[in-house]
Chains A and B, each alone.
Chain A
């Protein structure tokens, strides 16, 4: 089971890093999602892998699974879910404003007035 688990974490991380290094926002967001899956699994494993062990105290049982990583994973999942939602909205806003979803910023040039507020984008926040 350890081999399966670590291979899964490794494969997810590798795929995530590959996708994060792409140039377009969409693939980068996918990469970040893969990385967060990998890190969630990793956090879960930090309490040692165990099967069929209760995480809550109960009469008549001697060994327990570690409940703390499960709480940590729950927090991490919630946070990464929210962050993914934010980056999707932001990426979409940037794409709609610039008609272009490349990550790289062009060099700014004098005279290009790109500080003008885009209409309706205030809803993003």
Chain B
């Protein structure tokens, strides 16, 4: 077993606890440990990505219990990609929060940040669907704390909405898991895949309910319309660096859809055939349209960035809803791009907010802000990336998505929606940019220039831009890796045989359990994560 797989979960948990116990009142110590941990996680994430590139699926049995009974962590290309992406995103966001002083405006920023990372990494690595729920809860409870970081009336009220929405999502998730377990008698993803595939079409009612419930839960996370209502207020009212970190949160929903609906309820499964793609595609198109129209209609920078995030999720889910290897590869490329670009946009929003005293991020005339040129050019780059204009990677991503839908029956509709919404987004960003940077009032007599400019926020924002550029330049190798990832996802057999080495001759697998007799009691150890 490769113990490195455990570290993305273990390291932030341990360091976060140490920070909260020992360094509560030592800002510089907490910063040092937090940055060092993020650096280490970056190294681990990329090392895992490097190892996964060989195509071998690595499994870590926690407590050395064998797979269907114990809890496993599974590292395949997709998990490794998401872990590396999260680690790559976390470092600039953390540096920005330190450079702009956000981490000192409330308590326990660094500990919550690390717990959030732990939950995200765990959600990407786990091979057990109940554990996915547990890691969702970990990342959510950390995000509740981060969301209301630094307080403020409006932020608290938006936080209440956010928490309530996600609690309802968690309840739905539990209902879905209960149904799944009642039908199949297992919660291990690989084992689930085997048992769901055995269910005949005429007994599929309950499993279809479970599949749709799971889709609803992941759609809440992914802010798919009509389940997106939590996102605009949350992202706009959360501290902007936190909103930048939350750029990965919607992607967790996309990841979960990709994982569950390729591995367990894949296109070849009789019981749930034609269930997901038919619903997901129209919803994704509406999400894309609403998001980009929201960009055009937003009166605040924060809401503009939030709606841009919704729109990019729409594009991403259009590609995922195809459930073809090509579509998945395009979705993965676009996912990496939109995470980095969305985070960068939120950091730019905070740069603007810090420089405009009274008007904050309203798109209204105000005196010229400090370093207007630099901020404007960063905003320009982020807007190009989010709208999907050349030369940055958003353009390539959209091109890949459009190429992938070519054989879909709705191809013209999809192309029309993607192209029109791109135009709408360009208009929206152009309007916002000109209102912010050009439509300025003459400087006041006593300019109360807030916040002495520091370099670290610009370094962090520029770092994200550099990664976007790198993603564009290295598009060839990256798409090659994404295609390999998509191929690995489609070939579920390798995942299943990696987790359950002796799956074909597993004698105790009851096929399609009859509701009248109790299923065989699996000798499961108590979940290690129970607290």
Given A66-B521, A78-B530, A121-B151, residue A97 in contact with residue B156 (CB < 8 A): yes
B531, CB-defined interface residue at 8 Å: yes
Those of B79-114 within 8 Å (CB) of chain A: 105-108, 112
A117 to B155, CA, bound (A): 9
Given A35-B171, A48-B518, residue A122 in contact with residue B163 (CB < 8 A): no
List residues of chain B with CB within 8 A of the CB of A74.
530
B134, CB-defined interface residue at 8 Å: yes
List residues of chain B with CB within 8 A of the CB of A28.
164
**Which one of B112, B151, B154 lies within 8 Å of A105 (CB-CB)?**
B154
A46 to B130, CA, bound (A): 14
A90, CB-defined interface residue at 8 Å: yes
Interface residues of A (CB under 8 A from B): 20, 25, 28, 32, 35-36, 39, 42-43, 45-48, 50, 53, 55, 57, 63-69, 71-72, 74-76, 78-80, 82-83, 86-87, 90-91, 93-94, 97-98, 103, 105, 108, 110-111, 113-118, 121-125
A-binding segment of B176-184, B330-338, B457-465, B488-496: B176-184
Is A47 a contact of B181 with CB atoms below 8 Å? yes
CB distance from B191 to the nearest CB of A (A): 12
A-binding segment of B142-150, B381-389, B475-483: B142-150
Shortest 3 CB-CB contacts between residues of A and residues of B? A121-B151, A94-B156, A46-B182
CB distance from A2 to the nearest CB of B (A): 10
B159, CB-defined interface residue at 8 Å: yes
Closest chain A residue to B163 by CB distance?
A87
The A interface, classified by DSSP as helix, strand, loop or mixed, is helix
A17 to B106, CA, bound (A): 34
Is B167 a contact of A93 with CB atoms below 8 Å? no
Number of residues on chain B facing chain A (CB within 8 A): 59
CB distance from B254 to the nearest CB of A (A): 23
B362, CB-defined interface residue at 8 Å: yes
One digit per residue, 1 when the CB lies within 8 angstroms of any chain A CB and 0 when it does not, for chain B 166-206 equals 01101100110111011000010000000000000000000
List residues of chain A with CB within 8 A of the CB of B134.
75, 79
A78 to B529, CA, bound (A): 11
Is A72 a contact of B177 with CB atoms below 8 Å? yes
Those of B112-152 within 8 Å (CB) of chain A: 112, 130, 134, 137, 141, 144-145, 148-152
Given A69-B181, A94-B156, A125-B112, residue A47 in contact with residue B519 (CB < 8 A): yes
Is A71 a contact of B530 with CB atoms below 8 Å? yes
**Which one of B164, B233, B518, B529 lies within 8 Å of A32 (CB-CB)?**
B164
Is B137 a contact of A122 with CB atoms below 8 Å? no
Is A125 a contact of B153 with CB atoms below 8 Å? no
B509, CB-defined interface residue at 8 Å: no
CB distance from B248 to the nearest CB of A (A): 21
13 A-B residue pairs with CB within 8 Å: A32-B164, A35-B168, A57-B523, A63-B518, A78-B531, A93-B148, A94-B156, A105-B161, A110-B359, A113-B358, A115-B154, A124-B151, A125-B149
